[in-house]
């Protein structure tokens, strides 16, 4: 516990790469900050920073120390949450990384529902698709990540896996809006508003397109699901979104599941960093998501 302050100082210097910038942020003098780090290095028996002309950079010992600092910080947050539980007060903070598909209604609904019961729990939400969401866990930037078809990672423990269809999304006047389920070849009879290569659903679409030997007419391409949804309102085009990404309240558009003859259902994964102990608030929110997220299988 006696090292909590210097741990904070070292983590900030590692993040900012500069004694001066860190000292300004912490409202202490650069000389005082330098002396604290040097005293700690002397106590530890090894330097943790490389002093470079352009600033400060962690060395190998420093990288090990930073991992220890992050572990200690996560454990301390859990201790604080447990102490609050003992006092009968549900407090805490949950940091989430998530794919774009969940920001329109799923997570706003779930967070609001959770806070009705635990109003003293706050949330941070960072939109990160695919590999970026996995990296947020590995870098201790998120407690939980809710992702669409994330790449395999030895760092991630999957807390839940659900399955949802990929949907063809069109405006209500579009011919495909009259069907219950569609084939990809039917979608590609119309201009396509295509998700970009940065999104996991694009990889699945490209694989199916190649396998079925189809040639879509791509009218527009974007890594913003919000833009793609807005575009099909204005043109008789088709875009593709996970079921959770089809807005429930927007009566101008509708989603029709793509037949599993063309595409398997998407994997919706809620993950945490393997070996990291979650706060009580994060654990309870994960349990709530497990109960509420739809599963089409």
In CATH, what is the architecture of 166-264? Answer: 3-Layer(aba) Sandwich (3.40)
Band of pLDDT at residue 171, cut at 50, 70 and 90: very high
HSE-up of residue 82 (Cα within 13 Å, Cβ side): 9
Domain 91-163+267-292 has CATH 3.40.190.10: yes
Q: What percentage of the chain carries pLDDT values higher than 70?
A: 97
Give the distance from CA 52 to its chain's centroid: 34
pLDDT of residue 277: 85
Range 175-188 average pLDDT = 93
Band of pLDDT at residue 81, cut at 50, 70 and 90: confident
Report domain extents, the chain: 4-67, 91-163+267-292, 166-264
Please state which of the four CATH numbers 3.50.50.60, 1.20.58.220, 1.10.10.10, 3.40.50.9100 is assigned to the domain occupying 4-67. 1.10.10.10
- CA–CA distance, 73 with 86 (Å, rounded to integer): 20
Determine contact, residues 157/274, Cβ cutoff 8 Å. yes
Task: Using the structure block, give the residue that is written with the tokens 């010992």.
Answer: 61
Check if 4-67 and 91-163+267-292 are the same fold. Answer: no
């Amino acid at each position: 516990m006696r090292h909590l302050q210097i741990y904070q100082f070292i983590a900030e210097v590692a993040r900012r790469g500069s004694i001066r910038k860190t000292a300004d942020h912490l409202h202490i003098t650069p000389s005082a900050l330098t002396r604290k780090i040097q005293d700690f290095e002397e106590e530890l028996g090894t330097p943790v920073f490389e002093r470079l002309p352009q600033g400060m950079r962690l060395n190998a010992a420093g990288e090990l120390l930073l991992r220890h600092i992050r572990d200690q910080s996560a454990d301390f947050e859990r201790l604080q949450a447990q102490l609050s539980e003992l006092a009968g007060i549900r407090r805490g903070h949950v940091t989430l990384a998530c794919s774009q598909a969940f920001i329109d209604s799923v997570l706003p609904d779930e967070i609001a529902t959770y806070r009705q019961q635990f109003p003293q729990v706050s949330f941070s939400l960072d939109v990160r698709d695919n590999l970026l969401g996995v990296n947020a866990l590995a870098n201790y930037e998120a407690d939980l990540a809710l992702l669409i078809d994330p790449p395999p990672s030895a760092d991630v423990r999957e807390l839940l896996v659900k399955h949802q269809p990929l949907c063809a999304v069109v405006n209500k006047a579009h011919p495909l809006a009259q069907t219950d389920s569609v084939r990809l070849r039917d979608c590609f009879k119309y201009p396509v508003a295509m998700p970009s290569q940065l999104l996991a659903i694009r990889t699945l679409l490209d694989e199916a397109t190649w396998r079925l030997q189809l040639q879509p007419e791509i009218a527009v391409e974007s890594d913003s699901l919000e833009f793609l949804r807005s575009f099909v309102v204005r043109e008789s085009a088709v875009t593709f979104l996970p079921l959770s990404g089809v807005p429930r309240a927007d009566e101008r558009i509708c989603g029709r599941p793509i037949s599993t003859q063309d595409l398997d259902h998407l994997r919706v994964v809620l993950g945490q960093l393997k070996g990291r102990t979650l706060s009580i608030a994060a654990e309870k929110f994960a349990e709530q998501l497990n109960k509420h997220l739809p599963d089409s299988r």
